[in-house]
Structure formats: C-alpha cells, structure tokens
C-alpha cells in the first residue's frame, strides 16, 4: 500500500465512523522523541461551520540557493472578503540537503515539491517527494493553523479549561511510512494566531494533534 492510499483509507475511515484519532503525550524515555501508533492518535477536528479550502494541493520548484514559500488558504466565509490560512511552508536558500536517493544538492539544483491535504477536517498533509531531507542548520519551516477548529477543541459542545489545556499541548507530528509510528516534532504554539510552528528535517506525512 502506498503512503497516499493509506492516507485516503485513514481519512475515509474517519469520515464513515466519526472516530477521532488521537495523539497522546509521554514516553518511557524522555530524551527520545515521543511516539504514538495510528490507533492512539488524537487529531483536531475543524468546526462544522469552517469554510472549505481554496485548494487542497500545491506544487512548486524549490531551488538550492533561493528562498521559497507556499501558503494554503481557506475560502472566505460568506459575506466576508478576508480568508484565513491553513498552512505555511518555508525554505531557506540552504535548506535543500539530500534527494530521496541520498545525493546532495548543489547550488542551482531544483526539485519539484508537492503538498497535498489528505484531510482538511483533521489537518493531515502529505509532502512529496518522500525522503527529501533538509539541512540541520537551515531546516524547512512548517506552520499549521487551527483557527478553523474553533474554541471547542475536544468537540464536547462546551468551551472550558479542558480546551485551553488541549491548546497548550498541541504539536505537529510526522509519520515516515504508513506502518511507522507518529513522532512528535518540537513545535511552538502561537495562541493569538492559532498557529503551530515547527522546523522539519524532511518529507513525510504531517498532522496536528495533542
């Protein structure tokens, strides 16, 4: 099964069953990245009134030696002219490090990057080409925005301190292959902007969870 078909199966199962996937916290080794299996995930869910995404995919050529960026946006709500972001992705000039086959990038080399939103409802995205890696000294930056989830983050019909606690625990998580565990990425939550900012070292699947 390919990574893309696995994502489609996972998202379809969520839509049919209404089951929330969850990510937890904690681990036996506090020095190692926290890991969770797919069945242990707790993902955020967008509000039923959230607007649709303007696009669910974007592709661009990244060039070693040049900065690059791409944003994905929601449609504006009816009666409003402004819209909100779903995702920001940024590359520095020295970010491109190794191709999926392990060969290094030289200045001027380029690669086609594709971002696909696998689940707008559960904030799951896939980056291709899988296996592309970035410099540890100049990693790529990924921001994901959760304003479309509203304030009732646990979807219990109430906005309470439980939702504040969830917001403080939010992080970006990655999964290298369909059968791999989800790994927590060191992330910064900017509460006022409803965003999560994280450096990423390479391409795989990413999701917002707690």
Q: Mind listing the pLDDT tens digit for each residue in 157-185?
A: 999 999 999 999 999 999 998 789 999 99
Given this model, what pLDDT does residue 29 score?
46
Assess contact for 62 and 110: CB atoms under 8 A: yes
- Three-class SS of residue 15? helix
Token pair 């696995």: residue: 6
Predicted confidence (pLDDT) per residue in 102-161, tens digit: 999 999 999 999 999 999 999 999 999 999 999 999 999 999 999 999 999 999 999 999
Phi and psi at residue 198, to the nearest 5° = -145, 145
Given this model, what pLDDT does residue 78 score?
81
DSSP per-residue codes, the chain: --HHHHHHHHHHHHHHH-PPPB-----S-TTSPPEE-GGG-BB----TTPPPBS-SEEEEEEETTS-EEEEEEBPPPTT-S---EEEEEEE-TT-EEE-TTSPBP-TT-EEEEEEEEEETTTTEEEEESTT-EE-SSS-EEEEEE-GGG-S-TT-SS---HHHHHHHHH-EEEEESSTTSPEEEEP-EEEGGGTEEEEEE-B-SEEEEE-
Given this model, what pLDDT does residue 10 score?
44
Strands (E), 64-170: 68-73, 85-91, 96-98, 110-119, 124-128, 133-134, 140-145
Assess contact for 185 and 198: CB atoms under 8 A: yes
pLDDT at residue 16 is higher than 50: no
Phi and psi at residue 148, to the nearest 5° = -70, -10
Q: Which of 52, 57, 209, 66 is nearest to 144 (CA)?
A: 209
Given this model, what pLDDT does residue 30 score?
52
């Amino acid at each position: 099964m390919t990574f893309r078909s696995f994502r489609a199966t996972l998202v379809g199962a969520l839509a049919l069953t209404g089951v929330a996937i969850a990510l937890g916290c904690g681990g036996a080794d506090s020095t190692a990245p926290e890991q969770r299996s797919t069945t242990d995930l707790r993902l955020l869910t967008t509000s039923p009134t959230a607007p649709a995404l303007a696009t669910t995919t974007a592709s661009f050529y990244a060039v070693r030696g040049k900065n690059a960026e791409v944003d994905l946006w929601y449609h504006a709500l009816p009666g409003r002219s402004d819209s909100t972001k779903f995702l920001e992705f940024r590359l520095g000039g020295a970010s491109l490090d190794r191709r999926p086959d392990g060969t290094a990038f030289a200045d001027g080399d380029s690669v086609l990057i594709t971002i696909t939103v696998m689940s707008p409802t559960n904030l799951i995205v896939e980056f291709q080409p899988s296996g592309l890696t970035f410099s540890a000294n100049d990693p790529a930056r990924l921001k994901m925005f959760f304003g479309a989830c509203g304030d009732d983050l646990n979807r219990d019909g109430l906005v309470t301190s439980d939702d504040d606690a969830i917001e403080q625990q939010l992080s970006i998580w990655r999964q290298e292959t369909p059968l791999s565990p989800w790994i927590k990425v060191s992330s910064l939550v900017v509460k006022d902007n409803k965003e999560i900012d994280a450096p990423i070292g390479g391409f795989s699947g990413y999701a917002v969870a707690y």
